Amino acid sequence: MIEHVYRRAELARSVEAVLVATDDERIAKAVRAFGGHVVLTRADHASGTDRLAEVAAQLTCEIVVNVQGDEPMIDPAAIDAAIAPLVASPQVLIGTLRRRIDDEADLDNPSVVKVVVDRDGFALYFTRARVPFVRPDHPEPITWRHIGLYVYRREFLLRLSSLPQTPLERAEGLEQLRALEHGYRICTVETTGGAIGPLSVDTPEDLERVRRLIGAGAKA
């Protein structure tokens, strides 16, 4: 699966180099086997953001993208879309992706992370719970699924990693809440994810679905 993520990240036009950051020698061996670049990190990181920061500290680039290893169907064009706001404005420190939720069951699925955004597309909150609450006889607002990809300004990533974990971050198990709880804004970009949309692998059922899609030659 990691090779599928790697190859799709390579296809993004805005990405100059792809590295896999891991503390697992088995993953490192698999990456080396297909000719990918890998960096072994410490094993005591609290989140993927902190692991990424360890690697970013040794880089000289201005922008760092975190494509999580459980997104084998991620659309390369969506990666470019998430990067675009940081290229366009130096005030944007973090970018990520959101997609409309079309399946009602996803709202009650804790594996599907929901995001609430303001009118300018900046995140108000991320949660595993159903959100927002809609009163009877009131129109349903658009509900958004968060796609687990982050774009950081390198210097801000290092600053964020130095901040302590926050109560909501720990409660929800969502690392992006650390930025919100410390008062930083996260710019979200809507994506359709292509024909089938991005599909993260959070459960054995997800893994089987991805295997079927890849086996059938599906394109995201």
Sequence ranges of the domains in the chain: 2-215
d(CA 182, CA 132): 22
pLDDT at 148: 87
213 vs 116, residue with greater confidence: 116
- Collapsing DSSP to helix, strand or coil, 192 comes out as coil
Name beta bridge partners: 66. 150
Of 57, 78, 58, nearest to 67 by C-alpha is 78
d(CA 33, CA 17): 18
Q: Provide the CA 142 distance to its chain's centre, in angstroms.
A: 20
Which DSSP letter does residue 200 get?
A: -
As a whole number, the mean pLDDT across the chain is 89
- The phi, psi pair for 63, rounded to 5°, reads -120, 135
Give me the helices (H) in 40-75, please.
Answer: 48-56
d(CA 95, CA 83): 7
Average pLDDT value for residue range 26-43 = 96
d(CA 105, CA 129): 12
The string of pLDDT tens digits covering residues 114-162 is 999 999 999 999 999 999 999 999 999 999 999 989 999 999 999 999 9
Q: Quick one: pLDDT band at residue 1, thresholds 50, 70, 90?
A: confident
d(CA 177, CA 174): 6
Check: CB of residue 148 under 8 Å from CB of residue 191: no
205 vs 107, residue with greater confidence: 107
pLDDT at 160: 97
Average pLDDT value for residue range 77-97 = 97
Q: How many CA atoms lie less than 13 Å away from 119 in the CB half-sphere?
A: 0
Average pLDDT value for residue range 90-105 = 96
The CATH number of domain 2-215 is 3.40.50.300: no
- Collapsing DSSP to helix, strand or coil, 135 comes out as coil
Look at residue 107 and tell me whether its pLDDT is greater than 70: yes
Average pLDDT value for residue range 27-47 = 95
Q: What is the pTM of this model?
A: 0.85
